[in-house]
């Protein structure tokens, strides 16, 4: 805000608006900076924090797709941008421990309402976490996969000239995929994109876990559109 505008507001006894306009200008400048810069990262983090409330309000008030949000905030395409998402998440005052506990509570409630059938596939998944001292990550991975058995997909959608219904297996693959080695990740992504193109479907965000078995997972990735974030844990 220029000095003339400040003096004008003061003459009208509207000094309180000066800070408001200055804050708006600062946020506007930070939004523009983030739309045109990816480094240095310390400045990225600073401008991201300044625009937190603005971004939250925009996302909540505008019904935009993930692709549109990523277009509006291109810095999210950076491999380490998940740390920025973490910063926004901290605004909700939830810790990782809170999220894990709430997830387990949620899953227990779903299990009460939609008990699992005694099937080979579900029994095999349960066996992963029934061994001694399974990690929280292993428990969550298995529970994610079990959800599709507890609440199987229903209904059909029309694709071109045909009707299509997802199977339980396809539903699980839309949530989380298992790669035994990191070298499998690119293949998994490519196959998912090809299948979506063939069926005329969009790809929703999904997880890729890496390890020789689901109980021995040592790598965690989040795939959003064509962006892949490597994270340290399921939460």
Tokens of 121: 């596939």
Q: What pLDDT score does 141 carry?
A: 96
**Claim to verify: residue 202 and residue 140 sit in the same structural domain:** yes
Tens of pLDDT along the chain (235 residues) come to 445 444 433 444 444 433 443 457 788 888 999 999 999 999 999 999 988 888 888 888 888 888 899 999 999 999 999 999 998 888 878 788 888 899 999 999 999 999 998 889 999 998 888 877 889 999 999 999 999 999 988 877 666 667 677 889 999 999 999 999 999 999 999 999 998 888 888 889 999 999 999 999 999 999 998 899 999 998 8
Give the neighbor-by-neighbor strand order of the sheet with 227-231.
176-179, 206-210, 219-224, 227-231
**Claim to verify: residue 150 and residue 206 sit in the same structural domain:** yes
Nearest to 148 by CA among 123, 129, 166: 166
Tokens of 212: 């020789």
Domains: count for the chain: 2
Between the CA of residue 32 and those of 14, 21, 39, 52, 77, what are the distances in Å?
28, 17, 14, 14, 16
d(Cα 152, Cα 146) in Å, to the nearest integer? 10
**Claim to verify: residue 164 and residue 59 sit in the same structural domain:** no
**Claim to verify: residue 121 and residue 201 sit in the same structural domain:** yes
Q: What pLDDT score does 58 carry?
A: 84
Q: What pLDDT score does 4 carry?
A: 40
Domain's final residue, options 50, 69, 92: 92
**Claim to verify: residue 171 and residue 206 sit in the same structural domain:** yes
**Claim to verify: residue 53 and residue 110 sit in the same structural domain:** no
Domain range for residue 224?
A: 98-231
**Claim to verify: residue 175 and residue 211 sit in the same structural domain:** yes
């Amino acid at each position: 805000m220029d000095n003339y505008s400040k003096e004008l507001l003061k003459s009208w006894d509207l000094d309180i608006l000066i800070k408001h306009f200055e804050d708006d200008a600062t946020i506007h400048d930070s939004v523009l900076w983030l739309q045109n810069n990816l480094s240095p990262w310390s400045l990225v983090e600073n401008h991201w924090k300044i625009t937190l409330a603005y971004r939250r309000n925009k996302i909540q008030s505008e019904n935009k797709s993930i692709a549109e949000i990523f277009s509006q905030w291109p810095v999210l395409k950076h491999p380490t941008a998940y740390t920025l998402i973490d910063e926004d998440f901290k605004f909700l005052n939830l810790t990782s421990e809170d999220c894990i506990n709430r997830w387990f509570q949620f899953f227990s409630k779903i299990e009460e309402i939609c008990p699992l059938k005694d099937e080979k596939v579900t029994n095999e998944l349960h066996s992963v976490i029934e061994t001694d001292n399974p990690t929280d990550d292993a428990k969550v991975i298995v529970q994610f996969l079990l959800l599709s058995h507890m609440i199987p997909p229903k209904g059909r959608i029309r694709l071109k000239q045909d009707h299509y219904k997802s199977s339980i297996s396809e539903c699980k693959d839309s949530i989380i995929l298992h790669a035994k080695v990191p070298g499998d990740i690119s293949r998994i992504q490519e196959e998912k994109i090809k299948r979506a193109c063939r069926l005329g479907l969009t790809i929703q965000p999904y997880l890729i876990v890496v390890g020789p078995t689901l109980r021995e997972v040592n790598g965690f990735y989040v795939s959003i559109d064509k962006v892949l974030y490597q994270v340290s844990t399921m939460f």
